A and B are shown apart, each in its own frame.
Chain A
């Protein structure tokens, strides 16, 4: 057989959990091989083994038919294996070129780094594959999508022939996803082999040739993508039927919970990112906010949750002005926030899961009494959220958040915020990185909050999701609301036009 990669009967144990249990993965040359599985199924672990980050307890790895021992990422590099991790590994205040050559610097005399030579090569590969990375920008100044291309360039710079992508599309906008798919196809045509981890079945159908499915560490099977439907894949992975549509009873708009009036907010560079924005959110509704990334969504959310000062205008919650109040006051007034960036804001990665689950309530009874932590109560609360939201990890409430799988970290944050059942819940890309089963559950919980007369603002880059669960859709463009739509009377095309600023509905033109 002409497999480039064979991982045979791999088993890997972590404290309290068997992350991979006798898993076999075989990748052919020039194919795009998808790896599918629930959150915590062991996908990232399997790939980390292939990349030399973990050593399996059992099993064998063959590259081009030869058995190899991949001790560390250097060995993987030498074998032509490259990886783009679920959470990028870039040095923020280094330039693109510096990041790409890090650990493999071209040298001139006296061991000096030949940055010019490196720059040239980075530029060449970028042009060849249409990556359009600027070799001289600093990482902290470029978008997430661009950072990902830097990670891709890093693999290409090291002449990788086997490219591993761990959930590359979770952080991308729909347009960027299309571009990435095309880039991957080009690679495959050139004979490079790709392993793609993604939770989005659509993407698997679009680019992958083969798909291997994992469930709770075990391999369920490997299928030819052309022979199966998205529904088949979902069932293979979850082990039951999955409903992509949520049941959402009709209901009348309740009273006004949130009133945003003439809001202006500046971004980090001091430019106006939210422009004179007015918006009401009512009890018992999910308001979906659609927009192309970078049109003021982030600044709006941060202003609503108190993370960012507002420039002018007002935000009222239950008829009480909460603009520019402290974050604690806003939280206590009844605002919950599922943040976009889970590692920056959502979690203290070095805290245990139970500590993370009381991050806003640790000081309140019963978690604390007169300033003294009640560990038993905290663990009890944590356990309840863990059970309800099916947060999977090695050591339950005692697991250090850093060691949890990406999707389970996300489930923990969502669980924490929904469990507090705030009057106003801001959900920024809540289902990013979740498997279809988990998405189904989270959607149903959001709908349940709506039944409890809560107001929910959901920001998503995915129009499917917006159309699927919103009661109303607000479209944001350059920091302004350019239209409010009824999801039953609109479609992706109309929203798309509005997102790009070519159409306005129901709001006055300037």
Chain B
């Protein structure tokens, strides 16, 4: 107990303790809501646990105890939002707010579909081209707000929101123009140009999980490496904290703003590939946004804009998202999962309040201690 107390009172650890408190509190409130409305909270927790671990706690020690498909599906859901999370976080480290991950994701998804369908090459060349094209398309979509901000100081939030709509309508139009497209989807992608894997399907009881998991793993490493280890990352962080001092120190602030938006765009573009050549094997014509970009904002916020944080919070939000069908099966309305996700975002956004509260608590402890 006293160990936990010590941790709670350590100001240098607030970056970790505050998000954890936010998560716990959200689950607590979610539980209270369920109790008040006469829903058995256990159903929700079991659903979440089963989604994330594959273990059915109602059927422990039977042959139905474990089903790897749940884990596979859960990871499949977590992949794109982890990448949009990286996208938002990367821009944020340079002091930019990338609301445009949604649009960057859409053009990335389209680029992957197009290169997958139109090219016919051996997988070893085809797949990298497809993935790269998704990243490049996203980067291009990030370049536009980047250069407008750098050259004319147009606020990136305004531009990226517009770019989201442009992306939605443009990709729908182009996908429909592809040979053989129907009104709702394109033809199947070339097997050599997809992330789908019979091997992964076979070990996860036919889930839709795909090689994208490696792409995400590498992306997290790349994010961490650029930000923490390179002199370029040093500049980005410096510009994010204090553009004036960065300029004084001779850094090219505007150029960095542009690069940062492009790299952020590339991460979101990859998220698009997770969907169009991973979860699905065709390009989808969408009626509206699917809010992967907004999920990314939540993921980045909870993850504190650092690589490992984004990974963990991507998993959590992915779990909450993919647990919804199971919750419904357990008699819990899927809104409960949404309520909990939203509460987490709300509480993390209130982190200054929490920090203050922790400090007051620390003072009290000290006074009692003496």
Contact = CB atoms under 8 A, between A and B. Distances in A.
Interface of A: 15, 55, 57-58, 71, 305, 307, 326-328, 330-332, 337, 339, 344-351, 355, 359-360, 362-363, 367-368, 371-373
Given A327-B248, A327-B250, A348 B242 contact: yes
B231 A307 contact: no
B363 A55 contact: yes
- In terms of DSSP, what is the predominant structure of the interface of chain B? helix
Interface of B: 11-12, 229-235, 237-238, 241-242, 244-252, 363, 366, 370
The 4 closest A-B pairs by CB, nearest first: A328-B250, A345-B248, A359-B249, A363-B231
Contacts of B238: 348, 351, 355, 359
Contacts of B252: 326, 328
A389 B133 CA distance: 52
Given A372-B231, A373-B231, A350 B241 contact: yes
Contacts of A349: 241-242
B12 A15 contact: yes
A228 to B, nearest CB: 37
- In terms of DSSP, what is the predominant structure of the interface of chain A? loop
B366 A346 contact: no
14 contacts: A327-B250, A328-B250, A344-B245, A345-B245, A347-B242, A348-B241, A351-B238, A360-B250, A362-B231, A363-B234, A372-B231, A373-B229, A373-B230, A373-B234
B244 A372 contact: no
Nearest to B366: A57
Contacts of B363: 55, 71
A359 B229 CA distance: 15
B230 A307 contact: no
B30 to A, nearest CB: 32
Contact of B247 (A307, A332, A350): A307
Contact of A372 (B229, B241, B248): B229
Contact of A327 (B232, B247, B366): B247
A233 to B, nearest CB: 35
B234 A326 contact: no
Most buried by A among B234, B248, B250: B248
Contacts of B250: 326-328, 330-332, 360
Given A371-B230, A372-B231, A337 B241 contact: no
A359 B73 CA distance: 46
Most buried by A among B12, B229, B245, B370: B245
Contact of B248 (A346, A350, A351, A373): A346
A101 to B, nearest CB: 23
A359 B250 CA distance: 9
A373 B237 CA distance: 13
A337 B245 CA distance: 12
A15 B11 CA distance: 9
A359 B232 CA distance: 12
A347 B242 CA distance: 8
Given A55-B363, A331-B250, A351-B238, A346 B245 contact: yes
Contacts of B229: 372-373
Contact of A359 (B245, B366, B370): B245
Contacts of B230: 371-373
Nearest to A395: B12
A437 B235 CA distance: 35
A265 B230 CA distance: 37
A371 B366 contact: no
Nearest to A302: B248
Contacts of B11: 15
Nearest to B10: A15
Contacts of A55: 363, 366
A483 B231 CA distance: 45
Contacts of B233: 373
A360 B251 CA distance: 8
Nearest to A363: B231
A349 B12 CA distance: 16
B246 A348 contact: yes
Nearest to B11: A15
Given A57-B366, A363-B231, 8 more contacts: A307-B247, A328-B251, A345-B244, A348-B246, A360-B250, A371-B231, A373-B230, A373-B234
Most buried by A among B234, B237, B238, B246: B234
Given A55-B363, A372-B229, A307 B248 contact: yes
Nearest to B359: A55
B234 A347 contact: no
Contacts of B248: 305, 307, 327, 337, 339, 345-346
Contacts of A345: 244-245, 247-248
A355 B237 CA distance: 11
Contacts of A331: 249-250
Contact of B231 (A58, A351, A368): A368
B244 A351 contact: no
A336 to B, nearest CB: 11
